[in-house]
């Protein structure tokens, strides 16, 4: 369980490995907020290696999206598996985020 952060042009890409849950959500939040404070405005969080996101993880994504938008930026998500997509649809968060099928699609035109 961990995060890998890289830069693709002016886009900050975060790969979530394992789970985004109550035990590690603050680590992700702080890392993205640090980059936001450092001037980054475009973010992609990729879940191709993520098995599960709990409600507190969903809450962190909502919170980050709001803070990034307030700074004039955008947070995109990518590579949700079938179960994760079900959770986003149930909670209607699929209406709040731009969700791409894969990382390349998320980066396209960003």
Partner 1 sequence: MRHDLVLEIPSDPAAIQNAVDLVVRRCDGSDYCRRKLELNFRVGLTEALANAVLYGSEKDPSKRIRLEIIFLAKRIEARVTDQGPGFDPCTVPDPTTPENIERPGGRGLFLMRELMDEVHFNEIGNSVTLVLHLEPPAQLDDVASA
Q: Which of 33, 87, 98, 110 contacts partner 1 by CB under 8 A?
A: 87
Q: Is 33 in the site for partner 1 (CB under 8 A)?
A: no
Stretch that binds partner 1, among 5-13, 34-42, 70-78, 88-96 (CB under 8 A): 88-96
Side-chain-facing half-sphere of 44: CA atoms under 13 Å: 26
Shortest Cβ 57–partner 1 spacing (Å): 10
Q: Which two tokens stand for residue 44?
A: 């992609």
Residues 6+ positions from 89 with CB-CB distance below 8 Å? none
Q: Is 70 in the site for partner 1 (CB under 8 A)?
A: no
Q: Is 56 in the site for partner 1 (CB under 8 A)?
A: yes
Q: Which of 55, 85, 101, 108 contacts partner 1 by CB under 8 A?
A: 55
Q: Which of 31, 96, 98, 110 contacts partner 1 by CB under 8 A?
A: 96
Total residue length of the chain: 110
Whether 32 and 43 have beta carbons less than 8 Å apart is answered as yes
Q: Is 52 in the site for partner 1 (CB under 8 A)?
A: yes
Stretch that binds partner 1, among 8-16, 30-38, 42-50, 86-94 (CB under 8 A): 86-94
């Amino acid at each position: 369980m961990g995060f890998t952060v890289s830069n693709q042009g002016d886009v900050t890409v975060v790969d979530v490995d394992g789970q985004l849950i109550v035990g590690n959500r603050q680590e992700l939040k702080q890392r993205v907020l640090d980059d936001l404070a450092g001037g980054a405005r475009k973010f992609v969080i990729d879940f191709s290696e993520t098995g599960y996101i709990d409600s507190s993880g969903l809450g962190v994504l909502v919170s980050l999206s709001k803070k990034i938008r307030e700074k004039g930026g955008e947070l995109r998500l990518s590579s949700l598996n079938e179960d994760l997509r079900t959770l986003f649809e149930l909670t209607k968060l699929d209406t709040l985020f731009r969700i791409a099928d894969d990382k390349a699609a998320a980066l396209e035109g960003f």
